[in-house]
Amino acid sequence: MKLRFLVVSLLLLASLLVASTVDAQLQHPGNYTLAERDDSGTWNGTWVYVNRDGRWVFWIREKGKRPEIKLRYLGRSNLEGFETDWNTAADYTFRAAPVTFALSDIKADANTIEGSWDWNLVVGISSRKEHADISMYRTFRGRMAVVHFRNYEKVVNNRGKIETHTPEHAWTLRKVSNRIVSWEEILF
């Protein structure tokens, strides 16, 4: 009986240590390594990012020496979605509420893209406002790209209860084609 109690106690202690380690990791985001920049390849083409929340497509074309971007997003759980124009801006409605998205102040050359990411939704007294400074560069022989979200801030106002999230994070886009392909052609 004492041995059984000791084993159960040790298992409980081990699970608490693992849980506290996981909590510490969740509370201290930004603990990651970015892939090295590789100037191989070009921006021209269709780039995809998929996570548990949604699907993103970045269509990028080079006009002269500057890349232009068009985005499309489709949420997985709430079916929120939009597509920008080549100016990387979209105004749309979600559940009868106005939403704006913009990737603005874009500065780009043949190998890097930088800009401001703003995504805002207001529904009555509730809102979601997202802002970040992003920098993009190609990696892995030009077949992938890093989107680094710096100074990220997401403020959610849920009927007066305000939560602010500031995790620095990055996405890795996968290049699926050297041409601009339609959304329907992409295999997620």
In this predicted model, what pLDDT tens digit does every residue of 128-170 receive, in sequence order? 999 999 999 999 999 999 999 999 999 999 998 999 999 889 9
pTM score: 0.80
| Cα-based distances in Å from 41 to 48, 65, 109, 168 | 16, 14, 13, 27
Q: pLDDT, tens digit, for every residue of 23-80?
A: 223 233 457 789 999 999 999 999 999 999 999 999 999 887 778 999 999 999 888 9
Q: Is the distance from CB of 49 to CB of 58 less than 8 angstroms?
A: yes
The H or E element containing residue 10 is helix 2-27
Residue with tokens 């401001």, as numbered in its chain: 116
